[in-house]
Chain A
Amino acid sequence: MTEKTLIVNALAAKTWYWLKMNDTSVRVQRPEPLAVAAEGEVSPAAEPLACVTGMGEELTGLLAESPATRMRVDAKAGGAQTVRLHLAPNSGATEAAVVDVHAAEGADLTLVMDCDRPAGAKGATVIAQTRLQLGKGAKVRLIQLWLNRGQDVVLNDIGAVCGEKADFALSQIYLGAEKVYAGAEIALEGAKSQTEVRQTYQAEKNQRFDFNDNVRHIGRKTVCRIDVSGVLNDGASKLFRGTIDLQKGAVGADGAEYENVLMLGEAASNQTIPLILCSEEDVKGNHGATIGRLDEGLLFYLTSRGLSEEQVCEMIASARLNAACEALGDPRAACQVMAYANIDAPCGEDRDDA
């Protein structure tokens, strides 16, 4: 059992060290293979897909020299295809899986990955790296549900390269785990390629989430939108790094990132650093962030109708999660999240759109 300290989630452009946002160091053991149950066609990976990922080279290096589970998903043109991967780590272990996705020209793939751990399970360290190559006009929706009860540590690393007119949608929901380190690097290389990143999290107790999203606009008329929304309860903390990198040649590119953080816990803390890097004239880049308490007007309105402040907070948090589930576009995944969160909402066969 060798343990290594990795530097992960490095900010695309460094800033003051005293803010402690430039990167994160994490100690992990050399991982063993992670059990992955697949629904849909997968195959063992042969050649690793070369791709820059959000968490960085040190994690990729660790995975390269470890016996991680490696698999490949091939999506071809000719109709929508869905693959589901259920990650099942052993309690107390450090395990990893690397998934390479090749989406050919005109392919349409929905890949759902979940890590839904039973209550009371002893903590595990789960490492997942997903690398995607999208061909011309390919469409890939990657849905990830991190529903790790208890003391788990999650390292979730993504790298995607999008060809001309490719469309990559990434939806992530983080509800459990004691610590989450997640990075996504998306290269919009082809003209008119686009991506939408939607991250939703709810943290409580002393949960710590550490995110790093980086979208590189390389091709002309590329479009990205990053939406991050979360609730911090108790003494939970979160660091979000989000970068829109409008590179030279990305004429007509349009990048936007928005973050909304609802801080409910007295000891909660939030760090946000949304970057726009720009070396092209004819582009648009926007970011906005709203961080703080519940809107006073809304709180007054709801408490005046007989709800306690605690009930209002719960209701708002549930509503946010509900909205994120709706946006997944996959009823089965939505139901899984609602069940985990004990939210009483129409689900599965009860749903009109099921």
Chain B
Amino acid sequence: MEEKTRVDDIDRSMYDIRNEDRDAYRLGAGLTPELVEQLSREKGDPDWMREFRLKSLEIYNQLPVPDWGPSIEGLDMDKIVTYVRPNTKMQGEWSEVPQDIKSTFDALGIPEAERKYLAGVGAQYDSELVYHNLRKEVAEQGVVYLDFESSLRSEYADMVREHFMTLVPPTDHKFAALHGAVWSGGSFVYVPKNVEVEIPLQSYFRLNAKGAGQFEHTLIIVDEGAKLHFIEGCSAPRYNVANLHAGCVELFVRKGASLRYSTIENWSRNMYNLNTKRATVAEGGTMEWVSGSFGSHVSYLYPMTILRGEKSRMEFTGITFAGHDQNLDTGAKVVHSAPNTSSYINTKSISKGGGVSTFRSAVVVGANAKGSRSAVSCQSLMLDDISRSDTIPAIDVRTPDADVGHEAQIGRISDESVFYLMSRGISEEEARAMIVSGFADNVSKELPMEYAIEMNNLIRMEMKGSIG
């Protein structure tokens, strides 16, 4: 009985709230130079940005669709609307956000989370931020947290221009080029030297419009000796047509700085999630990624870290849960480009109900990365015989003075474990859900408690009806 109550508590309908399309403006579907120019005009871009968009579109048209990952044949770019402006300006108070949009974020628990344990929140609805706020005491520390469009017109405009799409250039791959052409929304964060932001900042991305794309850009600079935890959440209602998310995250971790970037991704099952995240870490800096991938129809997601400074380090902790009608291709990349750097990648993946989960990684240790160490551990759980789980880890070591280890396992839930729990009065379904939650423990223990609970609830929801 208790199990049933818990499952009911996280009814999926909270993610499936669907508001009427009452947008103020939407671009026509497809991708042409004229549409990109129109978007640029609508957003009031500076000239350099307009030129950047057009150049990116040219690159997009030249680059091939990747043929090494899940099929994206169902994604027809001629039908995707790349810009939908909600019927409100960005607000600094929740009370000023239109009721239907506010209700959505209320259901997702964002305002409550902000009150309880966040230093600041940015809430994006379709292509623009509708709410953005930073706690006064955090702002007084000199922390800058702006919506991306405002950052381009702020005193930090030069800093933004200097960093924008330098870590992920439009030439990187087709969807990075697409992002360069039609990006909209997102956040800019700057944490000054030696400032430690004690509680996390969060951006939440909600895509409501049917057949639309979301292309937010997140740029974070954590200056020398500073510290930040940034949380990203995303969801969308389910439609019977494809939606697209091709966001871009660029993270600059300066000397001795520390950044943790946590994501719980729960896009709807009609979403193509082709997101690019990349960090560069200077001397003595630390980059930590915590990533939970639960939603979307198809995902390509491999946060990359470039360890550019001596003794810099990265840690990636991730979990992917691929259920029915999902093909989630996730993992991580790290490039060791300086001596005595270290990396640790620890992932879990679960496949169920015909879902396909692929762990893909790359560890590259350059010739100058002497004394570096890297360890990769990936574990996969198959919950039935109609699903699929692949691991594709690549290692490239160019110096003898390095230690690189890799281990991977694929298996199933042991009958003995289920029997043990059932012999203590737990139902089989609950026993299997408990085992899967335990399997995901590496991620949940790295998240703030409220997010860990949400993640465990997502797992329980996915496990509902897993028997028989």
Residues of A within 8 A of B (CB): 13-17, 19, 21-22, 232, 246, 248, 261, 263-293
Q: Closest chain A residue to B410 by CB distance?
A: A285
Alpha-carbon gap, A266 to B76, bound state (A):
49
Is A246's CB under 8 angstroms from B410's CB? yes
Residues of B within 8 A of A (CB): 67-68, 360, 362, 364, 367, 380, 382-385, 387-412
Is A274's CB under 8 angstroms from B400's CB? no
Alpha-carbon gap, A286 to B406, bound state (A):
11
Is A274's CB under 8 angstroms from B385's CB? no
Question: Would you give the shortest CB distance from B369 to chain A, in whole angstroms?
Answer: 12
Is B410's CB under 8 angstroms from A283's CB? yes
A285 contacts across to B, CB distance below 8 A? 408-411
A273 contacts across to B, CB distance below 8 A? 392-395
Q: Which of B393, B400, B405, B408 contacts A266 (CB 8 A)?
A: B400
Is A291's CB under 8 angstroms from B404's CB? yes
Q: Which of A16, A280, A283, A292 contacts B400 (CB 8 A)?
A: A292
Question: Would you give the shortest CB distance from A332 to chain B, in whole angstroms?
Answer: 34
Is B67's CB under 8 angstroms from A281's CB? no
- Can you list 26 pairs linking A and B with CB atoms under 8 Å apart? A13-B392, A16-B68, A19-B362, A19-B364, A19-B396, A232-B400, A261-B397, A263-B400, A263-B402, A264-B400, A266-B400, A268-B400, A269-B397, A271-B395, A271-B396, A273-B392, A276-B391, A276-B408, A277-B388, A278-B380, A281-B385, A284-B410, A287-B406, A287-B407, A289-B395, A290-B404
Q: Which 3 A-B pairs have the closest CB atoms?
A: A14-B68, A263-B400, A285-B410
Is A280's CB under 8 angstroms from B408's CB? no
A277 contacts across to B, CB distance below 8 A? 388, 390
Alpha-carbon gap, A291 to B375, bound state (A):
10
Alpha-carbon gap, A314 to B402, bound state (A):
19
A280 contacts across to B, CB distance below 8 A? 382, 385
Is A269's CB under 8 angstroms from B396's CB? yes
Alpha-carbon gap, A286 to B391, bound state (A):
10
**Which of B392, B396, B398 is most buried by chain A, counting CB atoms within 10 A of its CB?**
B392
Alpha-carbon gap, A348 to B299, bound state (A):
59
A281 touching B383 in the complex, CB below 8 Å, given contacts A276-B390, A289-B395: yes
Is B404's CB under 8 angstroms from A292's CB? yes
Q: Which of A17, A272, A278 contacts B390 (CB 8 A)?
A: A278
Alpha-carbon gap, A13 to B385, bound state (A):
20
Q: Closest chain B residue to A257 by CB distance?
A: B408
Q: Which of B389, B393, B403, B404 contacts A278 (CB 8 A)?
A: B389
A283 contacts across to B, CB distance below 8 A? 382, 410-412
Is B388's CB under 8 angstroms from A278's CB? yes
17 further A-B pairs in the complex, CB-CB below 8 A; given A16-B360, A19-B396, A285-B411: A13-B68, A15-B392, A265-B400, A269-B398, A270-B395, A271-B394, A271-B395, A279-B387, A281-B382, A281-B384, A281-B385, A284-B410, A287-B391, A287-B406, A288-B405, A291-B404, A293-B402
Alpha-carbon gap, A283 to B403, bound state (A):
30
Q: Which of A16, A282, A286 contacts B408 (CB 8 A)?
A: A286
B389 contacts across to A, CB distance below 8 A? 278
Alpha-carbon gap, A232 to B393, bound state (A):
21
Is A282's CB under 8 angstroms from B385's CB? yes
B403 contacts across to A, CB distance below 8 A? 291-293
Q: Closest chain B residue to A279 by CB distance?
A: B388
A274 touching B397 in the complex, CB below 8 Å, given contacts A16-B362, A283-B411: no
**Which of A265, A267, A276 is most buried by chain B, counting CB atoms within 10 A of its CB?**
A276
Question: Would you give the shortest CB distance from B327 to chain A, in whole angstroms?
Answer: 13
Question: Would you give the shortest CB distance from B304 to chain A, in whole angstroms?
Answer: 10
Alpha-carbon gap, A282 to B401, bound state (A):
40
Alpha-carbon gap, A267 to B360, bound state (A):
27
B394 contacts across to A, CB distance below 8 A? 15-16, 19, 21, 271-273
Alpha-carbon gap, A19 to B67, bound state (A):
15
A270 contacts across to B, CB distance below 8 A? 395-397
Question: Would you give the shortest CB distance from B432 to chain A, in whole angstroms?
Answer: 13
B390 contacts across to A, CB distance below 8 A? 13, 275-278
